[in-house]
Amino acid sequence: MRHQRDELCKKGIPTGCILPAEEMTAEERQAIVNGKVSVVLTSPEAVLSLHGEWRALMRRESFRRHICLLAFDEAHCICNWGEDFRPIYSHVAELRSILSSVPVLVMSATLPTNVRDSVFKTLHLDPSEVTSVCKNPDRPNIFLNRANPVKKDKESLHEIEEPQWLLDYINELRREGCKARKAIIYCRYINTTSRLWGYIMHALQDKAWSEPGSKKPAHRLVDMFHSSLDINSQARILRGFSGDGVLRCVVSTIAFGMGIDIADIRLVYHWGLSKSAYEYWQEVGRCSRDGKPGEATLFLLPARGHVQVDVDFREMMTECEKENKCIRQCILDNLWLPEMGPKPIPRSTLCAAHCGKECLCERCTCCIECKSSCPCVRTSDEDSGL
């Protein structure tokens, strides 16, 4: 929320942010109370706390009459998080009862039909009274890659070989330093995040910092981010990863990315499957928001009993690999809403197999499955004797 507030203020839109009491100044609090801001950003926990000052403020008529819109951003979280992660999300409809005459705006980049129905039900919205504005959620500038783990032949502390994409990126960090491409590596759990970050830092040794001899956190090329990180560290990582900061890679849980708009992240890696197809697409969408080419790599770790993954999503990715189906098309089929109109025709244009070093045809820039079926790839393999 802090990042969103700062960006809106830069654009000349007075914005306040409701945070825990110890993180707000008296001036920030008064600006919201006295209606000096045009936008107020908050979490359900902050405004729905039973005896909290903000819930009381919302009930005050002198404050309510100035509210012209109640917006739920990242609305898919209402049903996704409300089940067990942050249960208060399942009670956000209370805000509608407090602000009963205020129009409601529900926003999400990924809201498949079943999730949208669940969100409407939670918010007590009658679908017949809702106007839907939808667009194709495709991000054609992002190449969708997949990498399978390779088991080690000998006994080791690790069950699998270090994936080639990780070794390649570590080499890029060594070689390019703070000129390396920006990357996010998503992990499902904090302990995995910590271990993977530690592995990368150990592999880089002194190259893990932008300045020789300096081991200050602000000079790290690689850092980790999760919900348990202290506020100052979170702010430092955001500063370092934005603009011209030196931070190149953030190893993170899903806590990093929500509401963050950094245009030049070129690589997004997934250490294992996301919980669902729409969450995966949310995380992929953090890549290359400026429209330049980017790449998202899904590292398909073996299924583990305690890791929750939507069965349909796992089966979808398995089917893509076994039957050489387009990953992008399968994801978009899952996210498509009737209001978006006819589904796009799958990419079928083939190149003439005379591309030279790099092919930029529709198949070779789509996903790993489409690329493998392009004539230029087979021709290249034959020329290499593979």
Give one word for 88, left, alpha or beta, with left for phi > 0 and alpha for psi -120 to 50: alpha
> Do residue 26 and residue 173 come from a single domain?
no
pLDDT at 378: 54
| Residues ≥6 apart with Cβ < 8 Å to 37 | 14, 15, 16, 31
Which residue intervals of the chain are DSSP H helices? 2-10, 26-33, 44-48, 53-59, 61-64, 77-82, 93-98, 113-122, 164-176, 190-204, 231-241, 277-284, 311-323, 327-335, 368-372, 375-383
N-term to C-term CA, the chain: 51
Range of the domain at 381: 347-386
| Radius of gyration of the chain measured on its C-alpha atoms | 23
**Residue 95 placed within a domain:** yes
What CA dihedral angle connects 251, 256, 262 and 264, to 10 degrees?
20
253 in any annotated domain: yes
pLDDT at 224: 97
In a domain, 137, yes or no: no
Return the pLDDT at 303. 62
**Whose CA is closest to 320, among 120, 139, 148, 169?**
148
At 385 the pLDDT is 47
Q: Do 112 and 65 have their domain in common? A: yes
What residues are paired with 151 via a beta bridge?
A: 160
CA distances from 81 to 100, 252, 259 (A): 24, 18, 16
329 assigned to some structural domain: yes
Half-sphere exposure of 224 (CA within 13 A, CB side): 20
**Helices 231-241 and 2-10: angle between axes, nearest 10 degrees:** 50
196 in Cβ contact with 280 (< 8 Å): no
Give the phi and the psi of residue 143 in degrees, each rounded to 5. Answer: -80, 130
What DSSP line would sit under 53-87, residue for residue?
HHHHHHH-HHHHTT---EEESSTTHHHHHHTTTSG
pLDDT for the residue 386:
43
3-state helix, strand, coil in the chain (%, to 5): 40, 15, 45
| Total Cβ atoms within 10 A of residue 157 | 5
Question: 181 and 302 in one domain?
Answer: yes
Cα 206 to Cα 58, 67, 92, 198, 210: the distances in Å are: 52, 53, 48, 13, 9
Same domain, residue pair 95 and 149: no
* 100-152 pLDDT per residue, tens: 889 999 999 888 999 999 999 989 999 999 999 999 999 999 999 999 887 66
Domain count, the chain: 3
CATH of the domain at 199: 3.40.50.300
CA atoms within 13 A on the CB side of 195: 10
DSSP states along 212-228 = TT---GGGBSEEEE-TT
Any domain includes 308? yes
Based on the fold, state whether residues 78 and 195 are members of the same structural domain: no
Judge if 242 and 358 occupy the same domain.
no
Beta bridge partners of 303: none
Specify whether 206 is located in the same domain as 335.
yes
Phi, psi of 101 (to 5 degrees): -100, 5
- Same domain, yes or no, for 306 and 329? yes
How far apart CA 187 and CA 209 sit, in angstroms, is: 23
Residue 358 phi, psi (nearest 5): -130, 125
Beta partners for residue 294, in sequence order: 142
pLDDT value of residue 306: 52
Instruction: Assess whether 338 and 357 both reside in one domain.
Output: no
Q: Do 134 and 358 touch, CB atoms closer than 8 A?
A: no
Query: pLDDT by residue for the chain (386 residues), tens digit each?
Result: 888 898 899 999 999 999 878 888 999 999 999 999 999 998 888 888 766 788 888 888 888 889 999 999 988 888 766 555 577 777 888 888 888 889 999 999 888 999 999 999 989 999 999 999 999 999 999 999 999 887 665 544 455 678 999 999 999 999 999 999 999 999 988 999 999 999 999 999 999 999 888 889 999 999 999 988 998 899 899 999 988 899 999 999 988 877 678 999 999 999 999 989 999 999 999 999 999 999 999 998 866 645 677 888 999 999 999 999 999 999 999 999 988 988 876 665 566 555 656 787 888 899 999 988 887 765 555 454 44
In a domain, 68, yes or no: yes
Tokens of 180: 């390396």
- Do 166 and 75 fall within a single domain? no
C-beta separation of 15 from 37 below 8 A? yes
Residue 122 domain-assigned (yes or no) = yes
Q: Tell me which residue of 301, 189, 172 sits closest to 249, measured CA to CA.
A: 172
Last residue of a domain, one of 99, 129, 159: 129
Its pTM stands at: 0.86
Does any domain span residue 14?
yes
Q: Are residues 214 and 305 in the same domain?
A: yes
Q: How far is CA 320 from CA 145, 349, 360, in A?
A: 12, 19, 22
> Do 118 and 13 reside in the same domain of the chain?
yes
Sequence letter at residue 60:
R
